[in-house]
Amino acid sequence: MRMVLANRLYDGMKAAIQASGKPEPATLSCKTTDIRFPPRQEAKYSEEHFRKVLADPALPYPDRMGASLGLAWYDRLKTRPTVDVTSYRLGPATILHLPGEAFVEYQLFAQSLRPNDFIAVAAYGELGTGYVCTDKAFEEGGYEPTASLVGPPTETLLKASIREVLNDSGNP
């Protein structure tokens, strides 16, 4: 009976494939914009502070590692001071690609702009920023703002960029 079942499953799969027909070619579009995020202004996020921390072998490894990441971000900004926000549309689906470890509020914002569309959000496009917080998060505190190398008005800038790439990515 195993072979009977296997043949019935095979016949069913073949029939399903034939019934589905040939898919229509999907439309493809892409839109990219740049953001120049403001660096943090507090003294403990300055290039000078990061250099001092990194140069002190008596400081704990996590402090020195954080300083090296901060310096890498400053060096990167000297080469290219902007980061990308990109949207790709493939048929009915849109993929929004954000920099840093972006807060979920940015995904919710993107979905609010296109409530009837499928929008997938992927972050970590440029992780030099660390967390990309909402502006309110800097007032509220917590871990994430301490691990962010960009400061207010980050939220305003990122939301404007999201709006730009979603409105110009082949969407009606």
CA–CA gap between residue 166 and residue 114 (Å, rounded)? 8
| Residues of the chain falling short of pLDDT 70 | 23, 168-172
pLDDT of the residue at 19: 85
pLDDT of the residue at 65: 95
Q: Pinpoint the alpha helices (H) of the chain.
A: 2-20, 47-55, 61-79, 104-113, 135-140, 143-146, 154-167
CA–CA gap between residue 51 and residue 99 (Å, rounded)? 25
pTM: 0.81
What backbone torsions phi and psi does residue 39 show, to the nearest 5 degrees? -70, 160
Q: Where are the domains of the chain?
A: 25-38+82-167
Task: Tell me the CA distances in angstroms from 154 to 39, 100, 136, 138, one per residue in order.
Answer: 9, 12, 10, 11
